[in-house]
Amino acid sequence: MKQMIRRLIPKVLKDKARSSRQYERLQARTLASTSKRLDICSAQFAHDFHLSSCPSLSGKVCLEIGAGWVLSHAVVCHLLGAKRVIAADLVSHAHPQVLYTAIHESVTSIIRDVLSPFEDHSLIRRRLDDLMRIRHFDFDVLKSLGIEYLSPFDFARDRMCLPVDFVFSMSVLEHVPCEDVSLLLKNVVADLSPGGTMIHNIHLEDHRDISGNPFAFLSIPGEQYTRSLQSSRGNRIRKSVWQEYFSGIEDAKSALIYEWSRMDKELPAHIDHSIHYEDIEDLRISHIAVYTRKDQSNGLTNRCT
């Protein structure tokens, strides 16, 4: 019913509502009590780290690409001992005040338990207890914790020119227009320290209707699938092409740490010729995560002046 009602609302009204700061605040509060709760985001990190054998973040510089409205993943890096966390976004969406909800609506014992294989349990407890005592979060409070917000920043256009040890993204790269993907990866890896690592969780479904019609966008003609649609619905890049992007990164090794397929929904009868894929299984893959490690012997690429 909600989906039907949304479709009846004129697009111009939807766009106006979604662009409002009030809408963003409401959305941020909703996310803070659901998918961006700190225990859920901690579990996502733990899942990735178990599958990748990612090295400790203690004392490291971390970068999150596409930090979003709540900044919970940046806080997880803090709990894991990062000395500096840069939460970056193309557009300034962050509402740090909702972190209070993301933390206090979490089950704190789960946060400690799932993260303890990757950092001393007592240190996680102490940092988490300190977070629980904070009544109001803002950018100054976050900076005192070593978390910096960088926005607007477009990694497809610029480099930070700052060595980072770990890069993370969750459901972000699929929103990058196809023509920008290789540029973004090149700039990010250029700032990755020797031996540095990246984990990118990439969602390959049509974001317009993930539950009902997750492959609908595969039938849209390429000339009609604009940059705006790529950003909102997903860039339609399939697993095999993502592997090509990551395998093409110089002086680094990448591997898939998971891939999930969607078998409960039908593919479109027609797949547009602009979609590059290997086979039906490639089209059906809905989620992947890629772990990349830069060669230890390699210095920073194309140093900034």
pLDDT of residue 304: 73
Given a cut of 80, whether residue 159 has pLDDT beyond it is: yes
pLDDT of residue 303: 67
Mean pLDDT of 170-181: 98
Tell me the pLDDT band of 1, cut-offs 50, 70 and 90.
very low
> Using one digit for the tens of pLDDT, what is the confidence trace for 251-290?
999 999 999 999 999 999 999 999 999 999 999 999 999 9
Given a cut of 90, whether residue 180 has pLDDT beyond it is: yes
What superfamily in CATH does domain 2-294 come from? Vaccinia Virus protein VP39 (3.40.50.150)
pLDDT of residue 217: 98
Kindly report the average pLDDT of the chain as a whole number.
93
pLDDT of residue 179: 97
> Using one digit for the tens of pLDDT, what is the confidence trace for 97-141?
999 999 999 999 999 999 999 999 999 999 999 999 999 999 999
Instruction: Give the domain ranges of the chain.
Output: 2-294
Tell me the pLDDT band of 13, cut-offs 50, 70 and 90.
low
Phi-psi region of 88 (alpha: psi -120 to 50; beta: other; left: phi over 0): beta
